[in-house]
Amino acid sequence: MEIALVTAVLAVLLAALAVFPGSLGVVKLTHKLLARPVGAFLFNVLALPLWLASLALLLVAALLARGDDSSVRGVALAALIVGGITVFGFLMHMRFMFKPVRDPLYLSTDQALERFGPEEEVVGVIDRLGRPFAYVARLARRPHVVYQTEGAAPFLVSHCILSHSSMAYEIDQEFSASRIYISSVLANNLVFYDQTANCTVLQIQNQARDGSYRLKTLPTVHASLTTWARFYPESSVWYRPKEWRDTFYLKLLARASVIDQESPDLVYPLEREPDGRLPLKAYVMGVNLGGVAKAFPFELFGRSAMVEDTVGGEPIAFLISGDGSLVHLFSRRIEGGRELHLRSVAPDRFEDRETGSTWSSTGACTAGELEGLKLELVPHYNKIFWCVWADFYPATEVYSEAEPDEAGAVPSALPINPSRTEGRTTYEQET
């Protein structure tokens, strides 16, 4: 019967609509739609109901086709196609591939060192109570999002391999009941869909694309496991058992050079022409304070024990461990609004010019008038690819080591190409 074949075709189309737009590979074509709340809702939240509806239509088509051999063959072919689409979706849909971890497992630093070895890269997070956590970066690549819900200061940590960016957000107030899914990618940076608030969030901008609410960020740092354990031996270290999807996903990545810092390849196009002030995938520390964005090339920290600057009116200092393996960003403003100026006096030891007090590279005052105080950590974008940072923040300044001019001033920024700051970007949600 003709109506049976029409129903079977509709079932195939509905299955394709449920699966393909939100699946890896196809997302390269649909990523801008999926970065909007309507697209994220349709192809993430409604994907399962749409797929179930396609199965229901197949059943209806089969019932209508009874007694007609031609229709039966057509419905059988449609069933095979829907089955193939279903298998593809099971393997490739982002809801399956990047399912957030909501029940994390932790090891002690000693257990983690024994299991993973000293050179394993971790993403360190300091929660709002000052407790340290570490996340094995290699294992965070696929889920992208890990919840830490125990205790009085819950948070989630996100890791984007395409931009080499890791951010952590407090689970607090309006963000407390969030249901986060990986929805899309824009310019090689993650887009989350918060089903509770029905909004999409760019990882690098820490807020809903329509500006409706802003996430509260926590300090993160990239380090080797042995370095993190040396400075934070009491830290919990997140891990997860290896799954078959890990091998599958890593094989997909292995076919691309997009995660290679020396390669010019990118998975998703940038919104603007690459900014030539730094190499395309140079690691930078991205700082955004007081409406001012500034990038600090990571190579600086291999040559200096500290870097002082002021961004958006906020006095800051990067303090580097003696072996250069750990870099923290602090505010130089202490209780009472007093501003400090620091200098390195020995490996892992700094002194402020105002009181002569001694500070560690983790921001603790260990001796002197200010003993017992701690510098406040400043959340920032740790070792993110320059091309991604500059694309989202085209007016960014770039810190530059330079000689003093005739007036004794030291210019601390490379010049900006004005043409890069003109026009509207697709990162701003249309209203």
Same domain, 138 and 248: yes
* Mean pLDDT value across the chain: 87
Query: Which of 213, 234, 254 corresponds to the end of one domain?
Result: 254
- Total-model pTM: 0.87
DSSP string, 269-333: --SSPPPTTS-TT-EEEEEEETTEEEEEEGGGGGT-SEEEEEETTEEEEEEE-TTS--EEEEESB
Mean pLDDT value of segment 16-40: 91
* Total count of domains within the chain: 3
Q: Are residues 345 and 410 in the same domain?
A: yes
In-domain check, residue 34: yes
Whether residue 56 lies inside any domain: the answer is: yes
pLDDT digits (tens, 9 = 90+) for 281-325: 999 999 999 999 999 999 888 888 889 999 999 999 999 988 888
- 81 and 124 together in one domain: no
* DSSP3 helix / strand / coil % (the chain, rounded to 5): 30, 30, 40
Domain at 310, CATH number:
2.102.10.10
Regarding whether 351 and 246 lie in a shared domain, the answer is no
Model confidence band, residue 198 (pLDDT cutoffs 50, 70, 90): confident
Whether residues 347 and 297 fall in one domain: yes
Q: 161 and 76, same structural domain?
A: no
Note whether 86 and 171 are same-domain residues: no
Task: Note whether 370 and 352 are within 8 A (CB).
Answer: yes
Kindly report the three-state secondary structure assignment for every residue of 49-98: HHHHHHHHHHHHHHHHHCCCHHHHHHHHHHHHHHHHHHHHHHHHEHHHHC
Domain boundary among 75, 97, 119: 97
Residues 87, 116 within the same domain: no
Instruction: Indicate if 65 and 148 belong to the same structural domain.
Output: no
Residue type for 285, please? M
- Contact between 369 and 269 (Cβ < 8 Å): no
Pairing relationship of beta strands 121-126 and 220-224 according to DSSP bridges: antiparallel
Q: Which domain holds residue 397?
A: 283-421
Q: Among 97, 124, 159, where does a domain finish? A: 97
Residue 268 lies in a domain: no
Q: 327-351, pLDDT tens digit by residue?
A: 999 999 998 889 999 999 998 899 9
pLDDT of residue 18: 94
